[in-house]
Amino acid sequence: MAEPALARKPQPARAEETPTRLREWVARAFARLEDVVYIGLSVLLAGTALVLLGAALVEFARLLATGALPANVIELLDRALLILIFVEVLYTVQVSFREHALVPEPFLIVGLIAAIRRVLVLTAELAELLEKGETAFRNALLELALLTALVLALVGSLMLLRRRPVHAVADRE
């Protein structure tokens, strides 16, 4: 007569199952640790972005009240784009946390914003650089040329990535 299912003793794990279970346990532990790090990074990035935004708003109000806003608009633009970079990096961390996959587009967008930020600030400073001398002006033009090439490369990369299948991401699970 066969024993009832409840009365059967559990079979010991086979030797080949033990390393697999250990790997799964270690992978889950690292995934949890990764989540904790992503949460910590998110808090730091969000806090930094909020502090930068508050400081920029205070500076904007001060410049507006004193009538010095037009002379300092480049610095405010630079600060606003820096805040945008922090927000985009925060978004990148959020996507990585949510998807548990490396998605390249947010990284490229952060690079694109950073390059455009530098292009805008540099072009706004060109008149001042011309007054500093021909060498400073020439170096700024060279930097602008390199930044333009970088922007084109980043945009081209984004366009190529948009054409690939959606599932073509580096999965980290």
Per-residue pLDDT of 9-45, as tens digits, reads 555 555 567 788 899 999 899 989 989 999 999 999 9
What would the two tokens of residue 63 be? 């410049």
Q: Which residues of 98-114 are buried (b: 16+ CB within 10 A; e: fewer)?
A: eeeeeeeebbbbbbbbb
Structural domain boundaries of the chain?
Answer: 24-171
Q: For the segment 102-161, what is each residue's pLDDT rounded down to a tens digit?
A: 788 888 999 999 999 999 889 888 888 888 888 988 999 999 999 999 999 999 999 999
pTM (predicted TM-score): 0.71
More confident residue, 52 or 173: 52
Q: For the chain, how big is the Rg over CA atoms in Å?
A: 26
Dihedral through CA 48, CA 51, CA 56, CA 62, nearest 10?
-160
